[in-house]
Each structure stands twice: as C-alpha cells, then as structure tokens.
Amino acid sequence: MKKHLFGVVVRLLATSPSNNNRLLYEHGYHAGNYADVVKHTALIGLLKHMSKKKSPFCYVETHSGAGGYALASKESQQMAEHEQGISTFLNDQTTDSDLLHPSMETLLRIMEQASSSNVDLMEGGTFYPGSPMIASALCREQDSLLLCEKETEQFQLLQSRMLMDGEDNHNNDRVILLQENGYKALKRFENLQSNKRALIFIDPPYQMGSDSEQIASLVGFLGKHWRSARVAIWHPVSRTNRERADRLYELVQKAVLGDSSSSSSSSSTELLATELYTDHDGNDEDETNPSVVGTGMLLVNPPFGIDEELKALYSSLGDALTGGGGHPNIMIKRL
C-alpha cells in the first residue's frame, strides 16, 4: 500500500510478525552516545562531499529507526549513555571552543533545529536527531531520501519525525519511507535509482548474528546494479572481540572482489576502514580492558580526501570525549 503524507511517500509493506522471544532493539536507550556522535559527524562529512557536485543524489538508509530521540525520555535516562556522548558538547566551554570540528558544529546546529521543531516530544530535555533527520537537513531540494525501517513502532515514529522535520513543505516525492527490511528492499529494482549518485548508510543493531553476511551480500549486489553508490557501514569494535570487525572486513572484501575472472567484477572498488577507540577510564594501555570500546565506519567507494578529514575529525572527537585525559586511538586504512 502506498500513500502520500504532505509530500512524503510512505509505502507500507506486509511484514512477518516479530518473534516474541526476541527483544526488539530500540535505539532510544542509546541515543546520543559516543558511537552516535562519531558515526553522525562522519556521516555529515560524507553528505557534505555528496553536495559538492550540483547533480542530485539519493540518500538511502537500511535501518532508520525512529529518526530522532528525546534525551529526557525514560528510555534514554535509563542508560544515560548520552552523558559520555553528545552531552559532552552541550556546555559553553566545549561549544565555544575554537577546536570544535566543523562537522560537530553542524551536528549541534541540526540538533538545535530539531529541538525547536520537536518541542512537544522533548519531554523537558533536548532532542537528538538520528541519521534520517541529519540527512534531511543536509540534502538539497534536488536530492532525495529513501528510508527503510522494519519495526512497526519505530516506523510510525519515523513517519512523525520526518513530517515534523519540515518535509511537508516540499510537496513532492523527495522522501520515501519503506516499512521493510532494508537489506531486502534495496535488492528490489523498483527501489534502485541507479541513474543517480547515492550515499547508502547501513547502520544495523547487530542483534541477529547474520548482519555481516547480509551487509556483504547487499554490497555485492550494489556493486553490480548501483555502481555509482557510495556505501557507509557503521559497526561496533572492541578489543575483546576484534574478530567481529575483521570478519565484516573480510566478507565485504570478498563481496567487492567477486569473481575476479568475471567482466562484471567490481575489483576496482575501493574500501576504507576507519575506527576510533576511546577509553573513558583512562586505561588505554590494557588491551583486555572491557571498557576500551570503539566505533567503526567501513566505506565502499569513499570520496577523495575523506581519509584525512576523518583523521582530523576522530582526533578532535577523541580528545573531547575523553575529557583530554584519555588516549584515543585512530585506525584509518585502505583494505
């Protein structure tokens, strides 16, 4: 079923009932945390790269979530992870600093705009924009957005967030919302806009155990059918589970290389792995310390110059998120 809501195209597809034995992931418990700040500022940098050319592009997201989150909600307050994330930047000393990275400045500006347009949802606190709202704020009128979210409750929230985000002013099909599994949705040709440039953001909760395989499968498909697309894959990293990130890298590499003897092989595709570790306990030397966690962004077809830009961003964020007392470690390498 397809319906229009003030210029936002919403497609509701039949989905299988959720398994009641599986706890559904709700990002509201983690919104604005350290990983969010890193991934969203990196995403801002990528979106700015996409806007350097006048030609339109399509922003695509496989796991859109609710679109934005009230940091004063009971879910957010239960974990209070934002206190070591975005809240680090919500004080005069930090926000007035000349050392604030431009992407961080942009995130704070979008956050202020989102808070002013979602006053009734803020629950007396601050409203943190998720990646759909960030992309909506940075995409131009000629650009389009395709946002997928499978879970019904999160999808309904996404609808309301995107309408409140001002998308009703465009009165066109600029934004398409799909209630569907994002991995599957992008393998249906009617959803591909292969004549356009694209930035595809894959940001799953990594609950199912098969996300790495599904990501690799989708990357391989896109390499054949949407070659102009750039892909950004967020993933968690920890010193105690290094194998998980390495396996993702290996699977995506194999998917990109494909059959090297085939004429359709995408072996010329570039891969850039980026990671940032911070240690809030100040014990970065202990590689078995479970508090030493990292966040990663794997880029397929990265834009020129993004290596140095992310290095500068991660350095700035690492210093701020550790209060200047930690030892952030940065890894940026071509695969």
Looking at domain 2-13+40-334, its CATH superfamily turns out to be Vaccinia Virus protein VP39 (3.40.50.150)
CA 327, distance to chain mean position in Å, is 25
Query: Regarding beta strands 329-334 and 271-278, do their DSSP bridges make them parallel or antiparallel, or are they unpaired?
Result: antiparallel
The pLDDT, as a whole number, for residue 180 is 94
From the CB of residue 131, how many other CB atoms can be counted at a distance below 10 Å?
A: 25
The pLDDT, as a whole number, for residue 29 is 80
The pLDDT, as a whole number, for residue 165 is 58
Distances in whole angstroms, Cα of residue 134 to Cα of each of 52, 61, 176: 17, 12, 16
Measured between alpha carbons, how far is 130 from 66 in angstroms, rounded to an integer?
A: 8
Contact 140, 51 (CB under 8 A): yes
User: Tokens 């998308």 appear where?
Assistant: 167
Give pTM, 2 decimals.
0.86
Sign of CA dihedral 147, 158, 276, 315: positive
Coil, strand or helix: which one is 196? coil
Query: Regarding beta strands 197-202 and 57-61, do their DSSP bridges make them parallel or antiparallel, or are they unpaired?
Result: parallel
- Cβ-count burial 36-59 (b if 16+ within 10 Å, e if not): bbbbbbbbbbbbebbeeeeebbbb
Angle between helix axes 152-164 and 131-138 (nearest 10 degrees) is 30
Q: Where are the domains of the chain?
A: 2-13+40-334
The DSSP string of 127-147 is EEE-HHHHHHHHS-TT-EEEE
**Which of the residues in the chain have pLDDT under 50?**
1-7, 14-23, 167-171, 260-261, 263-265, 281-291
The pLDDT, as a whole number, for residue 294 is 87
Measured between alpha carbons, how far is 194 from 100 in angstroms, rounded to an integer?
A: 37
User: Which residues are within 8 A (CB) of 120 and not within 5 positions of it... i.e. 6 or more apart?
Assistant: none
E-state strands within 36-136: 57-61, 68-70, 127-129
What is the tens place of the pLDDT at every residue in 68-121? 988 887 787 787 788 888 988 886 555 555 678 999 999 999 998 888 776 555
Measured between alpha carbons, how far is 88 from 275 in angstroms, rounded to an integer?
A: 20
Strands ordered across the beta sheet of 8-12: 2-5, 8-12, 175-179, 144-148, 57-61, 197-202, 229-238, 293-300, 271-278, 329-334
Measured between alpha carbons, how far is 244 from 248 in angstroms, rounded to an integer?
A: 6
DSSP state of 121: G
E-state strands within 239-270: none
The pLDDT, as a whole number, for residue 171 is 42
By residue count, the chain amounts to: 335
Q: What is the CA radius of gyration of the chain?
A: 19
